[in-house]
Amino acid sequence: MSTSLQGKKILVITSNTGIERDELLKPLETLRSYGATLVHGSIKGGTTQTFQQDTEKDRTVESDGKLAVYHGADFDALVIPGGTVNADTLRQDSDAQRLINEFVKAGKTVAAICHGPWALIDAGVIEGKTLTSYVSVRTDLVNAKAAAWVDAEVKQCGANGWTLITSRTPKDLPAFNEAIAKALQAA
């Protein structure tokens, strides 16, 4: 893919633990390789703990700062990695919820993978959307009045003035990253 994201700035938000390793690191690496500037914000700032398959501790990753210091107006897109603990923590964090709503209200791209869409439910932004996620999140999304849940490696939905990109699992990361890059090139 011949992609240039020069001048694009992307915020990746996480808790400080329970993050699915590849769902954090692969978007950071891939989108940086296309020339985008990526910022990793975590709830507390500092060190974040990644996991493999939600159960095995993997590496720690330094975030660039606390979620509280970031604002949607400063970025072109928001990425929400999965991991059960990560997503469940983000859905309860006021700064994560504020950021999601800032991106949506500004008509920007929001991308969430695996359990990441849980945070979108609590932000109250998925009504009328068609999306995908890790299969166990399906019922929560449908009950939260998402228009439809589909079993696809990536689903992009542009309804209601903003772009939502979702994927199911780490195996879908190539399609997920490509969809984010294409959405930002089109913006």
Model confidence pLDDT, tens digit, residues 74-100: 999 999 999 999 999 999 999 999 999
Decide if 157 is catalytic.
no
Q: Does residue 3 fall inside a structural domain?
A: no
For 121, the 3-state DSSP assignment is helix
4 part of a folded domain = no
Amino acid 144: pLDDT: 86
Residues 61, 29: Cα–Cα separation, whole Å: 13
- Least confident range from 62-71, 95-104, 142-151: namely 142-151
DSSP 10-69: EEEEE-SS-EEHHHHHHHHHHHHHTT-EEEEEESS-SEEEEEETTTEEEEEEE-SEEGGG
> Could you give the number of structural domains in the chain?
1
Percent of the chain with pLDDT over 90: 87
What percentage of the chain has pLDDT greater than the value 70?
98
What pTM did the predictor assign? 0.96
Q: What are the pLDDT digits (tens) for 86-136?
A: 999 999 999 999 999 999 999 999 999 999 999 999 999 998 899 999 999
CATH number at residue 54: 3.40.50.880
Task: Name the average pLDDT for the chain.
Answer: 94
Is residue 36 included in any domain, yes or no?
yes
Q: Are 80 and 121 in contact (CB under 8 A)?
A: no
Residue position matching structure tokens 């449908």: 142
Question: Hey, which residues does 56 pair with through a beta bridge?
Answer: 52
Alpha carbon distance 156, 147 (integer Å): 13
The answer as to whether 163 is a domain residue is yes
In whole angstroms, how far apart are CA 130 and each of 115, 116, 155? 15, 15, 7
In a domain, 2, yes or no: no
pLDDT at 145: 80
pLDDT for position 2: 58
Containing domain of residue 46, as a range?
9-186
